Structure 1
């Protein structure tokens, strides 16, 4: 049967909400039975009805995007950005979740993200996301109580016939920055192309992502051209921006073109 992934509208949202309501009723009944049985066996798995009202409100206010997976004329799944993905009970096991997850990853790439970051809950969904190419970080604390996972979205570039310039870009935590021999948590090196405006086009996007922390820290970026240090400071500073540091829709710093202060290096 044909399927479509459509931007949400009020009619589709109402259809999704109806089956989320039914799923919640079934969950509550199963939970009471589990409790009455002295919590023996596996706990029943709850759907995302508890998050639905806030997701719907954010969509209506224009702060987020919701897409609905439609098979025939039925809404059988939905995706709230990269935050929530669910397939309707009774329609699982047909590959719809994989199709919706592929759509999520492609959309994140089209937005310009360097990394897709998710929290997986329930834990029974972890094998699915591993099969989708995500790396799970069991030891990293998560705000939502799920397991943090990520997938890198590489970006490479074809170079022209301009002059070649060796480069190295490194990213450091604040703690490492002030050590005698700081160790970068991410490093990118290669041969770039000097463009007519003096900027250096990289072979690949150099991005600042440390999976071991929650990203709410100050990062330092070190830029070297042809073996010469040209910049080493906090990535968020205006001076770093002038050298080509940008921020993607996922709030990760990245560089695709180095902008040295002088046209020749």
Structure 2
């Protein structure tokens, strides 16, 4: 039931050790809900301003500070590594689907897009598997903000449960150039029967192109639990202010706390 969409990325690469996350989440109600309301506002430009020669201290933001995601989950994450894009939580390895969920924080002074992760699984000091990410939500991530993604492992069923993971990331700058990743703002989500339906708006100030992927991450308490995805009904150009609608089938699974993100590309 999970649909993967691979997003290529092109710039800065840094090897990142995993840092565990441990904090309690806030209670929320399941069912019909508007997009999650950000606790803190992220810079719209995705860039922190500084005087020449001044070192910028990036403040870690509350989850969904940009307001681009919708849903009922309000997880909290560790601050992450200063000045880096670092992993702040690793979820379970789903050996049936071959995916490892994780969260990361952008503690650089610039917004990032086309965020592409790779990971190496090690057991007993030896490599047990390698994999790469399949896109992130949000599609562009401001300084201090948290993003969600997953690694797809071809041989997930053979990776031991005690494996340790090493992560590396490549990113591009935030802008509206052609084929850069474009986040749509989720404006409505409703749990109806065994599906989540909703809409997202292009508030980027530029025209976007599909396909528009819809990613849903389910949480248990404060922890990533499982993932599924879909696409919007629309796949053509969406002008600034235009909307797209979607349905994410849960296929009988239950999820009281979830977040949904929608992303495409700039024209």
Same fold (TM over 0.5): no
Q: Greater relative contact order (Cα 8 A, min sep 6): structure 1 or 2?
A: 2
Please identify which structure carries the higher strand content.
Answer: 2
Larger Rg: 1
Q: TM-score range by the shorter chain?
A: under 0.3
